[in-house]
Amino acid sequence: MVIHQQHTPITLVQQKTKKDRRQALSIRYRVVASILLMLAGKGVTIATPFLFKMLVDIVPSYAEGVATSTVKSLPILLLLAYGTCRSLSSLFREMTNAIFAHVAQSAIRRFGRSTFDHVHSLDLQYHLNRNTGALGRVLERGSRSISFALNALVFNTIPTLLEVSIVMGIMFRKFGVWEAVTVAMTMEVATTL
């Protein structure tokens, strides 16, 4: 006895959920990629002063002629590495913004669509009694606020806290607790002004 499996056509709702799942997965990948790029940029930013320190430390031995033949090319290599780190820091920051722009626009689009659907689901009496034209301006301001909050939180506040924490850790390890406290207090004073 052969049982024929009945194939049900894919409904519009199922297609929408598959599309939503693909879009959610794409957004997750973009968020992870932008966070990894942001962390790479912060790592390069933190490494840049160390390259500059090594460059400054090696130049006197190069100028005095004490350097061996293998070390003679080191200042040039350090200078190139320093310039590359500065450029990579900017590149990572721009790539992070470019990748995360899609995520921010998607969040704004979802917010606007859900608000639009909600407003249109209200009864006619609500629209007749209210000034619904002003509602569009409020929605636009809300959308811009979401974009600003996402960018400020994800790419300014959190990375700055991470960078300050790493610098404080480096200062604590190399110089002791009082230099780390000095960095923390300096950052506190700078943020309150």
Residue pLDDT tens, the chain, 193 long: 445 454 544 444 454 677 778 888 888 899 899 889 988 998 898 888 888 888 888 877 776 666 565 566 777 888 898 889 989 999 998 998 899 888 888 878 888 788 778 877 878 777 777 766 677 777 778 877 877 887 787 778 888 888 888 888 988 998 999 988 998 898 889 888 7
Ranges of beta strands (E only) in the chain are none
Q: How far apart are CA 104 and CA 114, in angstroms?
A: 16
Indicate the residue type of 184. A
- Helix crossing, 74-121 with 12-64: angle to 10°? 160
Q: pTM higher than 0.85 for the full model?
A: no
> Do 18 and 52 contact (CB within 8 A), yes or no?
no
pLDDT of residue 87: 92
pLDDT value, residue 65: 67
Take residue 173 and report the two structure tokens written for it. Answer: 């390890």
pLDDT value of position 40: 92
